Amino acid sequence: MKFTLENFEELHVLMLYHSSTGLDGIKIHRSADPGVIAAAQRLFDDGFITRSDGGYLTSRGSEAAEHAHLLLSLLNAGGCQEFH
């Protein structure tokens, strides 16, 4: 299984949330990149965020955002290990 462009766009939207506590909301404007708008709609449809234009994270979204932030920090931690 590979990441799709849609997956990356959804991860990007989840990364816009600074806190996985659900206390920080976002607003995606109609002038935003169409891919970001579509990703937000998909995240809303799948129950990750409270509004199709952002809003707040749901409990499912909070967990996903936490994992997304962790993955990004791991990928950006530096140091490369060789896998055999």
pLDDT (0 to 100) of residue 49 = 97
Is residue 83 included in any domain, yes or no? no
pLDDT (0 to 100) of residue 83 = 45
Q: Using 50, 70 and 90 to split pLDDT, how confident is the model at 11?
A: very high
Domain encompassing residue 24: 5-63
Is residue 76 included in any domain, yes or no? no
What are the tens digits of pLDDT across the range 12-69?
999 999 865 667 899 999 999 999 999 999 999 999 999 999 999 999 999 999 999 9
Q: Using 50, 70 and 90 to split pLDDT, how confident is the model at 77?
A: confident
The total number of structural domains in the chain stands at: 1
DSSP string, 41-64: HHHHHTTSEEETTEEEE-HHHHHH
**CA dihedral (49, 38, 10, 54) positive or negative:** negative
Cα–Cα dist 10/71, whole Å? 14
Q: What are the backbone dihedrals phi and psi of residue 25, each rounded to the nearest 5 degrees, phi first?
A: -105, 170
Q: Please give the model's pTM, rounded to 2 decimal places.
A: 0.85
- Length in residues, the chain: 84
